[in-house]
Amino acid sequence: MARKKKEPELNKKKVDTSGVIGLVGSTTEQAISETLEINYMPYAMSVIVSRAIPEIDGFKPSHRKLLYTMYKMGLLNGGKVKSANIVGQTMRLNPHGDAAIYETMVRLAKGNETLLHPFVDSKGNFGKVYSRDMAYAAARYTEAKLDSFSAELFRDIDSDTVDMVDNYDATMKEPALLPTTFPNVLVNANQGIAVGMASNICSFNLAEICETTIALMNNPDHDILETLQGPDFSTGAELLFDEAATREIYSTGRGSFKLRAKWRYEKKDNVIEIYEIPYSTTGEAIMDKVSELMKAGKIKEINDMRDETDLGGLKLTIDLKRGVEPEKLMQKLFRLTPLQDSFACNFNILIAGMPRVMGVGEILEEWTAWRTECVKRRLYYQIQKKEDRLHLLKGLERILLDIDKAIAIIRETELESEVVPNLMIGFGIDEIQANYVAEIKLRNINKEYILKQTRAIDDLEKEIADLRDILSSGRRLKNVIIGELKDVAKKYGQPRKTEIIYQTAAMEEEDEEEDIPDYPVTVFVSKEGYLKKITPQSLRMSGEQKFKEGDSLAFSRETSNKAEILVLTDQAQCYKSRLNDFEDGKASLLGDYLPAKLGMEPGENVLQVILPGDYKGFMLFFFENGKAAKVPLSAYETKTNRRRLTGAFSDKSPLKTAMAFDTDCQVAVYTTDGRAAIFSTALMQPKTTRNTIGVNVISLKKKATVSHAVTLETSGITNPSRYRCRNLPTAGALVKEEDAAEKQISFDV
C-alpha cells in the first residue's frame, strides 16, 4: 500500500480564533486590537496631526506649504503669476496633487470671499463661498500673488523664529509654523474633519481680537465679551446674539449661534431682495428649500424666486403676491429655510502636536505664550548677529592702532596661507577677525574708513544691551507683542461685516405663533387613522361623515387650528404635529391618512390620538400586563420643531389605552376575564421619564389581560361602589349584567 503523501504543515497550528484575523495560506495571525494599534492608529494620528486640524498659527499644513512656496517665489512684493505655476512649485512641499493644492489656494483667495482677511490676491474667477454651483476657473486661467496682509505671516520668518523641518523627500526645508504677528487662528474661519474628531472655528473681527488679546495680557481676568462682541464673517449677515450661548463658546470652545440673512423690501416692484446670507449656507440651498416649500403648499405668499447674483455681489429676489406683508413672510422663511442657520463651534486646535478643544481665552493664552517664544527667538537671533558684527569691528579697531604695521605684515608674508596667522600674531586677534581684516579692499585701508566703521561699536554695544534687557524683562517683552498687535489692528483692521441683533428667544417664539392663523375647527379621527379637520361653516353645510369601508369614527373634538396633536403608535413612538399642517376638509372626504402624512415607518400603526392642549395635565397609559403609568404632559412638550419622539411610552407590554387629563379623576379598567376596577388617578404618582414601565393597578388572574380603560363617566357603570378601590393594585370585581352594557372602545382624549 502506497504511503500517503505528507501534507504541508501550513496553517495546521490550532489557535483560538476569537478576535483573530487569519490569512489563507499564511501563518501570520494578529489580534484585532493589535491590528488597530499597528495599522489604523498611525493613519488616524497622521490625519489628525498632519492634515485636518489647524495649529496655533491658524493654518493646516496644506495652507502653510502653499503660502510659504509663494513667499519663496517672491510673490509678496512681485507681480501676479499663473496659478498653475504656483501649484506646480507647491508640489515640492505638498505631494497630494495639483487639484487639492489649487482648491486650497481658492479658499485663501480674495476672489472666493471665504476669509475675512484673504492671504492671496487673486485675478480671475475663483468662485464664491456663498454659491454651490459657481465653479472656479482652472489654474491655467487664473493669476495670483500674496496679499500685502500676508507680510504679517512672514515678517520674522528669516530670524529663526520658528523651526524649519525637512519636506517629504528631505530635499528642502519648510517652516513647522508661520510666525503670525496676530492670533490668526481666530481671525479667519477654519474647519476640518479628521478621524474620530473634527474642528470648526468661526472667524472674529481682527481689530476686536487684537484688542481682546491686549486686554487679556494686561489683565487675565478681563471679561472677553466686553471687547469681543461676537463672530464676524466674510459673508456678513446678522448674528442673533445670545449672551449665555456666546459665553459658553468663549469659555468651552463648543456651542452654536444663529446667523440670519440681510434683506430689503423694494416697494416699487413689490419684491424682497436678499443680499447677505449666513456663512454656513449657499444661495442654491436657499432657492431649493423655498421651491420645495412652494410645491408643498406651505408658502403661498410668493409668486417667484430667482437668483440675480452678478459682479456686484449676491442678490436673491422674491416676487411677492399682492397684499403680502414682507416682515411676516421673512419671519416665516427664517424658520423654514436656511435663510436663518446655525453655526456649530468646535475650537479643536493642535497644541504641541496634541488636539485640544479650548475656549477663546485659553486659545489667546496659548497664542500669547507661543508668540512670546517667537519674539524671544528673534531677539536671540538679532543679538547673535549684532555680537558677530561687534566682534569684527573690535578686530578692525585693533588695526586702527597701526595701519602701517598691518600693511607691512601682509607685504612681508611670502605665502598667502600665512597672511591670516601672521595678522593674528601681530595684533592679538582671532581667525575670524583676521580674515575680515585681510579681505578689506586696498582703497579702504585709510584712517577715515576705519574710524567710520569702529564708531559703530558704541551703538552696537548699546543695542545689544537693550535687546538683552528686553529678553530679561517680562514687561518689556509683553510690550513688544502689544505694540505689534496695535500696529496690525491699525493697519489692517476693518469694520464688522456681520451685524449683531439683540433678539430674545421669546420674541422669536411670539413671531412664530402670530404667523399661524387661528380659527375654530372640529377634528374627526377614524379607527384606522384617518384625520379630518373641518371648519364650523363647512360642518353646518355637510351631511353624514364619510369613512373607508370597514372603518368608523373613533372620536371627534372641537378645538382650534393652532392646536397640537400627539399620535401614539404601536412602536412606542409619538408623532407631533399642528392641525395647521392639515388642509381644511369636508365630511364627504376620507381625510389625511396619519401614517402617510406624518411619515411613519413601514408597518407602523396608529394606536391613539391625543390633543394635549397647553401640556398642563398628565397622560395615563394602561398596558396589557395590568400596569399603568402616569406621565406629565410636559414631558411631550418640545421647544424645537421635532416631529417624532422615540421612547414615547414603555414597550415592555402592549399599550391598550392612553388618556390625557387636566386634573385627577376616576377611571375604570376592564380585564379579559370579565372583571373591572375603578380608582382615582390621584393614587398614582407621576413618573419623570416617558418610557416608565408604570405600577401594577390591577391583579390579573391566569391568562387574563387588561382589555381597555375608560373614564367613569363614559363607562356606563350604575353601581360604581362595587368596583371602587382605595389601594393599588386591586383584584377588581366581576362585572354585573347591568354594568356590562356594550361600550364603544375608541381613541380617548
Q: Are 597 and 543 in contact, with CB atoms under 8 Å apart?
A: no
Q: Report the distance separating Cα 25 and Cα 6, nearest Å.
A: 17
Catalytic residue chosen out of the listed positions 43, 141, 502, 519 = 141
Q: Report the distance separating Cα 668 and Cα 7, nearest Å.
A: 79
Q: Report the distance separating Cα 307 and Cα 305, nearest Å.
A: 7
Other residues' Cβ atoms within 10 Å of the Cβ of residue 623: 22
> Omega before 42 cis (within 30°)?
no
Q: Is 449 an annotated catalytic residue?
A: no
Q: Counting Cβ atoms within 10 Å, is residue 337 exposed (0-12), middle (13-18) or buried (19+)?
A: buried
The H or E element containing residue 246 is: helix 243-252
3-state secondary structure of 596: helix
C-alpha of 266 from chain center: 35
Q: Report the distance separating Cα 694 and Cα 657, nearest Å.
A: 14
The H or E element containing residue 292 is: helix 283-295
Q: Are 406 and 399 in contact, with CB atoms under 8 Å apart?
A: yes
Q: Are 391 and 432 in contact, with CB atoms under 8 Å apart?
A: yes
Give the sign of the dihedral formed by CA 59, CA 65, CA 66, CA 71.
positive
| Angle (deg, nearest 10), helices 505-514 and 326-336 | 110
Q: Which position has the grid cell 372640529?
A: 522
Residue 387 grid cell? 555680537
Calculate the alpha carbon distances from 527 to 281, 521, 584, 596, 658 in Å.
Answer: 44, 20, 20, 15, 14
SS (H, E, C) 479-548: HHHHHHHHHHHHHHCCCCCCEEECCCHHHHHHHHHHCCCCCEEEEEEECCCEEEEECHHHHHHCCCCCCC
**How would DSSP label each residue in 162-185?**
S-EEE-TTSSSEEESS---SS-HH
Q: Counting Cβ atoms within 10 Å, is residue 517 exposed (0-12), middle (13-18) or buried (19+)?
A: exposed
Instruction: Give percent helix, percent strand, percent coil of the chain, each to the nearest 5.
Output: 35, 25, 40
Half-sphere CA count of 568, side-chain side, radius 13 A: 28
Q: Report the distance separating Cα 392 and Cα 464, nearest Å.
A: 15
Q: Give the residue numbers marked as catalytic.
A: 141
